[in-house]
Structures are given as structure tokens and as C-alpha cells.
Amino acid sequence: MFSYCTDPETLTGLRWLSCYLTTGVHFSFYWAFGKVLLLLALAAPSALLMGFLGAMAARSLIAPLRWIGKGYISVVRGVPDVAFFLFFVIALDQFFEWGRHKIKCPEWTDPIRQGNDFLVCPAAKLPLGTAPEWQHETYGFLLAVLTFAIVFGAFAANVIFGAMRAVPRAQMETAEAYGMTRRQSFWRVMVPQMWVYALPGLSNTWMVLIKATPLLFLLGIEDIVYWARELGGTKTARFSDYPHGDWRMWYFLALLVFYLGFTRFSEVVLRRLNARLSRGQATAAGEAQRKANA
Amino acid sequence: MSECAQTIADYAFRSLGYGERLLPRSDFTLCQHFVLIGSGLFWNIYFGLMALCSGFFLAIAVALGKASANPWLRKPAEWFILLFRGTPFFIQCFFAYFLFLSLKGSYPFFESFTSAWLGAVIVLFLNTSAYSGEIFYGALRSIPKGDIEAADAYGLSGWMRFRRITFPTMLRLGWPAYTNEAIFLFHTTTLVFFSGFPARQQAGDALYYASYFADKTFNPFIPYPILAFYFILLTLCIIGVYTLIGRRLNRHLPQEKRAKFRLRPQLIR
């Protein structure tokens, strides 16, 4: 990157380091941090949506829907999340391909599962066998986002379900007294008020979500863990301009620092948000704020 | 049926290195799924129990340290909790593995630290100590003021007050959250063999075998539900044991107060 980097063998000290850290592969490593942030940016709102739908299903008046909602919440929370990640990435992929297979190749008569193989017609492959590399990567990434949304949606659903029940009963009774229907009182009274009860739990889920992002590595995505292992491994002078010993420990130390900084930053932001949402609420935190101002 | 008995004989202790060396390669039966994944569960239970039993003591030390007025005790405890709660276990494990690997190069003493049975247990031990330490710290802070005042009125102080009043009350208040921590700790143990620590001779944990089957058959719908079944069973056992202990901790309370002791598994990890 820098002009003095043309002959790495002559460099020493900081100059060597500055050249080493700006090689092409290192930019792939830095871009992988972007991938983590992108995953969070996409997974958090979708998990929140899944959580909202899950909570609505869990408190539905229709029994089968309620069972689905409650089952979703407790099964996902009762099983290690890694298992779900490994499961859903294959299962969702096969589900999509199976669906496309049914639509695109109705004349196909061979069974889809043949022994240890999963065979769909070529037109149903996702992405198509002829698709460029970036489409494969994007598809893999989107599957990961969907998986994160499903798993963390269950955690969020549990929190939101609890928050909906925490809204004071008197508020709902007032809504009923005004003649609101069940739907109206849900959207106009319960939903706006539940957020302050949900926020501590949702903050917690967000923290857990951050700390689950390195599991992208297990889903076969070239994320920061992948690059840290690649770049940190011993490099000999034959294959690299920048030979070094086993530095994987230092790369993972850098990842630890990144995550520590990120969780710390989130904590501060969430604390402020909590203070903002508590303003004027009939909770202990809101009461404390009112007293402090008076 | 006799075929399944043979499978049990071959693979029931496969995860510990006993029995048939070669894993099945094709024509997997349901019995093989159940036996091998169940065999791997030994490791999860081993990791979880070791970390819980040792972590309990460090957790109490950390909680007391964080609640201490002395900054020389408080600051290290705060930093310890921050460090282990603020970073993913997955990365901690990778870091520890490579750290032990490079230490092994210079000091032969660290030979066995790169094996999962010791290295991963150390990471899990530190990790659960930090999480439980935070739980017990919270419990310590919510001990009713009246209890401490009553202890003072009885002339209890120092060690005696801690032993008779502070410690039991702290345990009692922190117990529901601690149950939850134990459950999530057992879930976390499934990450060990995916995070650097090698599964020597394919002797891995439950998830290791489940993903082995899923990779070989390309069918996730059998091994993972079996794994889920085992883990739900394990979770129920943990809840059972912790409820028994919790009931013992609460046995002096009047009945109607005791009835209030309900498990509310919240998320803490």
C-alpha cells in the first residue's frame, strides 16, 4: 500500500508492520469485520420481528397457534444455539431447494433423498450451478442471517411475551372501559407501553447476539475467525513476502479486544436508551427520574 | 434388536476412547445415531460438572471482591467479570488454545493444556466464574438490610456473620439465576470441539457426533433432533437437581413464601 513496501525483505520494525498490516489479505480480514456488523444490522431487526410474531402467537386465543408460539420459544431456548445454527443452515437450504424443485421440475420422478445424497433437478439448485461466486457467498450469508433471526427470535419472543404481561392490568382495563376492541387495545395501549419492560431483556439478547456472531465461522462463512486462523498461521518465506511464526494467538487477542470494545459501547448506548424510555413511565426507574428532577 | 445391542457395546464409550475405533461410514442406523450422540454427552457432562464445581468457589470470591470496599480487591474482580462477560466464549477458547500451544513450545509443563479435558475446562471454569460471580454480586447487593442489622444485634460479626447470614442469603437469592447459568453453561460446552481444541481419534462431544452424521448423510433432520432430545433431558435433570437444592436453601421460610420460589429461566449469557 505504501510506496516503501515494494521490497519487504529490507524493512524492519514499524515500517515492516505497517506494510504487513496493509496487504491485500489483511483487507479481506478488515472487510470481515464489516460482515459481522452487517450480520448484526440485518439479524437484529429480523430477530425482533420474529420475536414479536412469536410473542403474538404465544398469547393468541387460537389454541394451535398458541402451542406453536410456546413450543417455538421453549424448544429453541432449551437446546444449544450452535446445534440450531448447524441444523438450520442445511435444513433451510434443503427446504428452499425442495420447494423450487416441486415448482420447477414437476416431471422429475426420482426420489430427492438417495442414500446419503440430496438430489434436486439442476434448475432448482440454489444458487444455480452456473452462478458467479458472489451469489454463492451472498446466499450463504442470507441463510446465516435467517438462522440468526430464527434462533434469537425465540429469545426475543420470550422477552416480549413477558413484557406484554408486565403492562399493568389497569391500563388494559381502561382501554376496555373505553370500548376498544381486543385488537385496538393491543395496538394502542399494550404495544406502545411494553417496550420499557422489554428493554432490559432485549438489551441482554442483543449482547448475546453480539457474542454469537463468531459462530458465523461454523456456518462456512469467511468471517473474522476464519481470517484470524488463516493469517495467523505460520508463514514461511517461500510462500509469503512477510514470513512470521505462529501468530494466531495475537490475532485472536485482537478479536477479543474488538468484542470487548463493542459490548462495552453497546452497554453505554443501551443504558442511555433505557433512561430515555423510562422518562414519564410508571416504573421505579421513571419515578426515580421524576424525583431527581423535582 | 441384537444389532443395536452390538452397536451399544461398540460405541457406548466411543467418546472416551473405548470400543470400536472406526466410526460407522455408511448405512447409518437410528440406533447408531442415538448411541454415538449419547456417548458424546459424556464430554458435555464432564465439562459442565468440572466447570460448575470449581467455578462456584471462584464465583463467590469474585462476587465478594466486587462488593468489597477495598479497590485492590474490587478492581481486579470488576475487570475479570468485564473481560469474560464482554467477549464471546468461542473466541476465548480459540485464544486460550493458541496461547497454550505457544506456551507448550517453550515449557513442557503445558503439554496437557492443549487437550480439551484440561484446557477447555480452564476456559469454562473462568467463564462460568465470571457469569456466576456477577449473579452472586447482584444477590449480595439485594440482601435485605434487616437481615444484616439483625445479625449485628445478635453480636455476629466478621466470619461468623458471613457464614451464618450473608452467605446463605446470597445463595438463596441468587439461586434461580444460577440455575439458569448452569443450563446455559452446559449448552456452551458444545462449542469446545469446534474452537481449536482437537477431538483426538474422533472422540468428541454430542454435537461433534451429530455434525459428523449430518455431514455424512447430508440429512440434518435425524441427528440434530436426537441431540435436542438429549439436551432437553439434560436441562430437565439440571432443573431437577437445582430445584432440590433451592428447596433446601429455602426450607426455613414459611410455606406461602416458599411457594413463591419459582424458576423463571431468564437469559443471562
Would the CB atoms of B228 and A83 count as touching at under 8 Å? yes
Q: What's the whole-number mean pLDDT along residues A252-257?
A: 94
Distance CA B262, CA B269 (A): 20
Q: How confident is the model at residue B73 (pLDDT cuts 50, 70, 90)?
A: very high
Closest-CA residue of chain A to B83 = A260
Is A137 among the domain residues? yes
Is A219 among the domain residues? yes
Q: What is the DSSP string of B143-187?
A: S-HHHHHHHHHTT--HHHHIIIIIHHHHHHHHHHHHHHHHHHHHH
Is A276 among the domain residues? no
CATH 3.40.228.10 describes domain B31-259: no
Cβ–Cβ contact A111 with B under 8 A: no
pLDDT digits 0-9 by tens, B74-125:
999 999 999 999 999 999 999 999 999 989 988 888 888 888 899 999 999 9
The total number of structural domains that make up chain A = 1
Cβ–Cβ contact B74 with A under 8 A: no
pLDDT digits 0-9 by tens, A189-203:
999 888 888 988 899
pLDDT of residue B258: 62
Contacts of A81 in chain B (CB under 8 A): 187
Distance CA A177, CA B243 (A): 42
Is A267 among the domain residues? no
Contacts of A77 in chain B (CB under 8 A): 265, 267
pLDDT of residue B218: 84
Is A272 among the domain residues? no
Cβ–Cβ contact A73 with B under 8 A: no
DSSP H or E run through A213: none
pLDDT of residue B269: 61
Cβ–Cβ contact A246 with B under 8 A: yes
Q: Domain-by-domain residue ranges, chain B?
A: 31-259
Q: Is the pLDDT of residue B58 over 70?
A: yes
Domain span holding position A173? 3-7+16-255
Cβ–Cβ contact A225 with B under 8 A: yes
Residues above pLDDT 70, as percent of chain A: 98
Number of Cβ within a 10 Å radius of residue A262: 20
Cβ–Cβ contact B26 with A under 8 A: yes
CATH of the domain at A94: 1.10.3720.10
Report yes or no: A70 and A161 within 8 Å, Cβ to Cβ: no
Is A247 among the domain residues? yes
Is A167 among the domain residues? yes
Would the CB atoms of B267 and A260 count as touching at under 8 Å? no
